[in-house]
Structure 1
């Protein structure tokens, strides 16, 4: 309690009280269930225990790299049985935002990013432009060069390109000198890729074009070893270029919760949001009336939680979701 505000550590009594008070657990994925493609220790045992106790499990991720179908395959590859209906991604949220706001299906949606968002948009009935193929567009920095873009695109969606190859393919970025560095040019000269230039032109020059961001996460665990720059860095670059703030559909926006409540017969007061980020997961839970449990297995550290400048405080915190198993068995 370094700043005078409580950050209660999860204890056996608190764990039993939490489980008794909720019907559903909403789990973030990156940093809670896995890091990159590596499952976090104790996750299968924890999910199995909660299911046996009759709890509804929902997985709510800001990572828009994959569609629900692709995430379901990832869960199965890691030995977890999770259905598409239990998965809510920000790519799915973007598609549902357009659908629920009656965006005309004959209008075009320009996407910067990978195949997951394209799949969700097409499943929702929308025509898409962009994606990985647009990394192949050429830009000539010479006098009188004019970059052609589709004047009928009326939505631009920014999302996370979460691998070096994906950044290169989807955004047209070039490696830094030497060709072997793990750093890419967007971290120093954003936005230089043709996809980002194209997106900026759509927003500035196409009347009424919407600017939608799947999330604004500044970092994310793209591998089990490191945090890398996240979608927020890319969204900020385009936002700066067009002098316009995006509509954010991922956490901490309440839009995901609004759609979740339409899908399940649940009360937010009987839910617990479990996440590793204060500014997305925990804020999302607080904004929507859920109980909140912060785990220290991902982005947020104990020192950041207890820092005097921190203004976001979970109901409870613990090291990982596996702690629930030991505490509930005491």
Structure 2
């Protein structure tokens, strides 16, 4: 991907560290019609908006950028997530929320699934996701059901951790899924990021054009991999799980898949764009 950027960009192999100025930001934003944002670690942390994130998000919307929030959070419905975003000041509609729980429900509808479901997860799903009450009983029951090869094994996401503070992360749904997978000796179909399924319907409908879409995320192995899988341009921000040091490690890695998780651009925080967004300067 070739961005027309000024000299205030630090090149790191396949990644560019953007130092925002009005020229860089305007040139960058001319490239995209749609921006897909991860939620936790990009727009908010737990129940608090990151400083300047809502103003930045809304300013980009004011430019006419189509905006979606794509989250692997499976504990709440899209309605609940849109209300949460609205309470923090983000201008977003319910149908602009893309969640792993929603994707899982769509997957089951498309398969015309009408049988019983055993839930290991939060209120937003009917499969395996983040479950703060995971215990040996749940793990045992899930593994027993999965002995039947006809039983679907579905996961909302495989996130290993999510941020709850600037320097603190807690185990995510991926830990729960890995525990069940280890006992069941079966891998699930994952509906959320990094699989494209979470937004594949919008791509098919032409609502999202991958070559004109920017994915903004905070986690390399989910968000950046998701962007790569969908054919999006990718921007990693340093306010969540992955850091600039992680990018350097990926660049030096000899693992064949590591390059798929390297972002096109790195930015310290989303709000660094705010002073240079054209809608803020007229």
TM-score, structure 1 normalization: 0.74
The aligned counterpart of 1:258 is 200
In 2, the alpha carbon distance for the partners of 1:39 and 1:281 equals: 19
**Unpaired segments ≥5 residues, structure 2:** 1-8
Matched with 2:82 is 72
Once the two structures are TM-superposed, the CA of residue 59 in structure 1 deviates from its matched residue by 0.3
Give the corresponding residue for 1:203.
146
- SS of the residue corresponding to residue 229 of structure 2 reads helix
Deviations 1:206-242 (A, max 9, x none): 3500111111111112456620011111111111101
**Number of residues of Structure 1 aligned to a counterpart in Structure 2:** 262
What is the alpha-carbon distance in structure 2 between the residues aligned to residue 52 and residue 268 of structure 1?
21
SS of aligned partner of 1:215: coil
| CA distance in structure 2 between the partners assigned to 1:158 and 1:56 by the alignment | 31
Q: Which moved more, 1:267-276 or 1:311-320?
A: 311-320
1:210–1:298: structure 2 CA closer, same or farther, 3 Å change rule? Answer: same
Q: 1:110 aligns with which of 104, 114, 118?
A: 118
Displacement of 1:81: 2.9
Name the structure 2 match of 1:154.
none
Kindly report which structure 2 residues correspond to 1:189-268, keeping only aligned pairs within 5 A, or say none.
192=136, 194-204=137-147, 206-222=148-164, 226-262=168-204, 265-268=207-210
Is residue 101 of structure 2 the alignment partner of residue 159 of structure 1? no
Distance in 2 of aligned mates of 1:3 and 1:16: 19
TM alignment of 1:110-189, pairs within 5 A: 110-118=118-126, 157-161=127-131, 167-168=132-133, 171=134, 173=135
| CA offset digits 1:247-290 (Å, max 9, x no partner) | 11111101112123246623111110000011111111111111
The structure with the larger Rg is 1
Any gaps of 5 or more consecutive residues in structure 1?
Answer: 119-156, 162-166, 174-191
Which of 305, 308, 316 pairs up with 2:265? 316
